[in-house]
Amino acid sequence: MPDLQPIIRFENVTKAFPPDNRVLENLSFSIMPGEFVSLVGASGEGKSTLLKLIYAEEVPSEGEVYFNERPISKINRKHLPFFRRNIGTVFQDYKLLPQKTAFENVAYALEVDGRETDEINAEVPEILEIVGLGNKMHKFPKQLSGGEQQRVSLARALIHRPKVIIADEPTGNLDPHSTEEIIRLLQEINSFGTTVILATHNKGIVDHLGKRVIALNDGAIVSDEHKGKYVTSTPTLNKQPIQKV
């Protein structure tokens, strides 16, 4: 029997920043374990904010986000680092530690967990091999290309064998070849059962994936299709006045 309980569930979630900037408006949806979900929408539509609510970098103004049916906002701040080990994150700017080599960057995620050195020395090369960086383990981020840096970042996200991978515009700074590489890796990770949530505004990727697509416009879900295509948000009059007539 597959697990029928959603791994992530948004319940009437609204996020507003002071003074009165409502970024997300009354969102409700669920993501099941093992799903590959693309989150689309133009920049500034609230994709990153939505993801931050999942990895507890932000808390909802109203409503609640559940992880395995446990409310995330109720997690004690002290336990936040432990909770975050369930979620691997990948960002547009890679977020690698510049003073550490590829190996050390990945190892860091295990070190903070108090794992044995032997274990780290065995697991880190293995994961770097998977993302195709076996021969560049001891290079510093500035010695690697953008695509390679993103693969280090992905290796780090995977090292805890997280249940969920969150990728916020992971290909935003990459050339088409590297983009393809990263997406292929995300698909591979997903095929092993890891839930992947990918925020992007790359139409080609979304159409190529042929997986679930949630489209955000003006902080609200405008479409949620299980074999979706990229949805171009229709301009609304109240947001952008008509300029070309």
Smallest distance from another protein to CB 25, Å: 25
Smallest distance from another protein to CB 99, Å: 5
Smallest distance from another protein to CB 170, Å: 14
Q: What is the dihedral of CA 72, 78, 82, 85, to 10 degrees?
A: 70
Please pick, from the candidates 113, 123, 180, 224, the single residue that binds another protein as defined by CB under 8 A. Answer: 113
With binding defined as CB under 8 A, does residue 82 bind another protein? Answer: yes
Smallest distance from another protein to CB 112, Å: 4
Identify the burial level of 100 via C-beta atoms within 10 angstroms of its C-beta, where 0-12 means exposed, 13-18 middle and 19 or more buried: middle
Q: Which of residues 115-174 bind another protein (CB under 8 A)?
A: 116-117, 156, 160
What is the rounded distance in angstroms from the CA atom of residue 93 to the CA atom of residue 174?
A: 10
The residue range among 79-87, 175-183, 209-217, 222-230 that interacts with another protein, by the rule CB under 8 A, is 79-87
What is the rounded distance in angstroms from the CA atom of residue 174 to the CA atom of residue 180?
A: 9
Contact 31, 195 (CB under 8 A): yes
With binding defined as CB under 8 A, does residue 103 bind another protein? Answer: no
Please pick, from the candidates 21, 43, 76, 99, the single residue that binds another protein as defined by CB under 8 A. Answer: 99
Smallest distance from another protein to CB 146, Å: 17
Tokens coding 46: 């609230």
With binding defined as CB under 8 A, does residue 108 bind another protein? Answer: yes
With binding defined as CB under 8 A, does residue 224 bind another protein? Answer: no
What is the rounded distance in angstroms from the CA atom of residue 213 to the CA atom of residue 229?
A: 7
- Residue number, 55 or 66, with CB nearest to another protein: 55
**135 CB contacts (<8 Å, ≥6 apart)?**
none
Greatest Cα-to-Cα distance within the chain, rounded to the nearest angstrom: 67
Q: Which of residues 2-61 bind another protein (CB under 8 A)?
A: 55, 57
* Residue among 146, 154, 174 at smallest CA distance from 105: 154
Smallest distance from another protein to CB 77, Å: 7
Place of tokens 């409700």: 28
What is the rounded distance in angstroms from the CA atom of residue 161 to the CA atom of residue 155?
A: 10
With binding defined as CB under 8 A, does residue 97 bind another protein? Answer: yes
Length, in residues, of the chain? 245
With binding defined as CB under 8 A, does residue 81 bind another protein? Answer: yes
- Which residues bind to another protein, rule: CB under 8 A? 55, 57, 77-78, 81-82, 84-85, 89, 95-99, 108-109, 111-114, 116-117, 156, 160
